[in-house]
Structure 1
Amino acid sequence: MPLVDMPLEKLKEYEGSSPRPADFDEYWDRALAEMRAVDPQVELVPSSFQVPYAECFDLYFTGVRGARIHAKYIRPKNVPEPHPAILQFHGYTGHSGNWQDKLGYAALGYSFFSLDCRGQGGYSEDTGGVKGTTQNGHIIRGLNDHPDQLLFRHIYLDTAQLAGIAMQMPEVDPESVMAMGGSQGGGLTIACAALEPRISKLAPVFPFLSDYKRVWQMDLAKDAYAELRTFFRNFDPQHKREDEIFDKLGYIDIQFLASRIRGEVLFGIGLMDTVCPPSTQFAVYNKITASKSMEIYPDFGHEDLPAFSDMTMQFFLKQ
C-alpha cells in the first residue's frame, strides 16, 4: 500500500508529537465556566425555506465574548417528543450549507442543528475587533496573546454551547443528542463531545486541529494548516519561540480533549490524507477511551469517503 505517513501498525500505536500544556485541564475548566456564565439569549427566526414535514429556523445565540452565533435548525413535525437530535459542523472557512441536504434526518424524526463557525463563511460573528467575517487565520489568532484569547477556544465553546441549547429544548431528548462533521467539522465534533460529554454518539471524519507539531514535522503546513508556516515566517522566522508556540497550540489540540469523550464514536479516515495527516488523526483516536470503531479507507485522502455518510446514519439510528 502506498504511504504518506507511518505504516498502519505504527499509526495504531502513535500517541502524538505536540506537547500537552501542564495546565490543560484547568484551562478548559476555566473556559467552560466562562461559557456557562453567558446568557445565550436564544432566538428562533422562521426561515423563508420551509418543507411540509418540518419547520426550518435560523437560530441565534450569544457565545463567549459577546459574539452572536448562528445555526440552522430543522424541527420535524408530528413526531413523538422528546426525540433525538443531530449537531453538524462544517469544514474550515465554510458555512452550514443548504437546508436540503439536512432534511433526511428530519424525515426520520430527528431535530437537526448545523452551526456556522464564528468569523468564517456563514453568519456567526467574530468579535475580535470587527463585526462579520475574518474567514481564516483562526488557528494562529491569539498566539501572540494570552491563551484565553485563542480564537479556536471560543469556537470549541460555541459547539458545546449549541449542544447545551439543543438539550434544553423540550422537543429534544437530551440523552440522544449526536454530532458529526468532516475536517474542521470532525475536529469540532471531537471538541463538542469532549466539552459536552452528554453527547451520546459522534461520527468525526478526518478531523482537523490535531497534533500541530506533527503537521510541521511532516512539512505539511500548507492547505488547511498553511497559517502555521505564515505565522513562523512573519513572527518567528528563526524559530526561537518554537517550543512556546507549539505549547500554546496545545490548548486547542483536540487530541488532548479526546479522553473526555463519553459517547460512542464512529471515526472515518483516509490513509492517503495529506491535508490532515493520518498520524494526527490517530493521535486523537488512540486517546479516546469511550466505545469506538474506525472505518479505514487505504486509498483515499481528504475527500468523500464512499458510504461513510450511510454508515453514519445507520450508526445514529441504532438507539
Structure 2
Amino acid sequence: MTLQIGIVGTGWFGMMHAEKLAKLPGVKVTAFVATNQQKADLAARRFDGARGYESIHQMLDDRKLDAVYICVPPFAHGEIEKALIERGIPFLVEKPIGVDEQLPSEILQGIQEKKLITSVGYHFRYMDGTDRAKELLRDRTALMALGYWMGSMPGVSWWRKMEGSGGQFVEQTTHIVDLLRYTVGEVSEVYAAYGDRFMSSVEDGVTVPDVGTVTLKLVGGAVATISNTCAIPAGDRAGLHIYTNKGVLELTHGGLIDTEAGRKTEYANASDPYERENEAFLHALKTGDTSQIRSTYADAVLTHNVTIAANASARTGLPVKL
C-alpha cells in the first residue's frame, strides 16, 4: 500500500514535510496547493508525478488522496479543513490552528462527527528530551515552570498583524504552552500583560505586541510564567524550565538538561522530532492505531484556547478562567 499525500502550502513547513515524506517507503507526495498556480507548479516539479493546484477543491477533485498536510498561515485555516472533513480525508495541520476560538471549535465538531484521524504539528512533544522529562516527572513533584520564546519579528507581512497571526503568543509561543500542558498539566486560569515597546515604530503595519508575559495556574496546583518578545535582533531562544522538588528540568530545541542536587545531566535530542511526528501519523493512516499521535486536533484545541485566553486577558486586563 502506497499512501498518496497532498500538501497545502508551499512555504518552509510545507516543503520540509514534503521532502521528508518523499524519502519514506510506501509514501508518495502527489499534489500541492499554493496561493497561485505558478507556486504550486514550482513545488510539484520537485516531486515525480506531482501536480500543482490553486485550491483545495481542485486538488481533491483531481487526486485520490489518503491524507493531506496543511501548512498555511493562521488566518488561512477553515475552508481547507472543512473540505477535507466533508470528504473524510485525514490531515496533519501545522500550528497554530487559527486566530480565534470559534473556527477551531467548528472544525473539531466536524472531525469528531466523522471520527477523522488528525495530527497537529506540536513537534516539541516528539523530542527525546521531552520523553526523558516525562519519565523523570513520574518521580518528582512539579512546583512551577518558567517558559520563554525570545526572538526577532518574522519578515512576512501577515505575521505582524493580529488578524493575520494572532500575535506571538498564539503563533510561536503556543509551542511552549503546549509543552507545559504535555509535561506538567492542564491550565485552569491565565493572566496576561502585553506591551508595544519598539517594533511598531520601526516597521510598517505592526499591530502585534512585541513583548508579553503570561501567568498561568494549573489544575494540579502548580503555577507557571511564559514570556515572549519578537523585538530582539539576536540572542533568540525558546524553552521551558520545570522546577521540581528534586531540581530543575530545562527543555529546549536541543534536548534536556537535568540539574539535580547540583549535578547536571544532559540528554541531547538524537532523533528528528518532525520525522517521529510523521511516523506516528502515517502509522495511524495505515493501521487505524492513533495511539502514537501525541497531539490530535482535539488536544491542540486545548492549547490553542489557552493562547486565545491570554490575548483576551491582555486586552481586558482581567484574568481568564478556562
TM above 0.5, yes or no, is no
Q: TM-score when scaled to structure 2?
A: 0.29
More strand by share: 2
Q: TM-score when scaled to structure 1?
A: 0.30
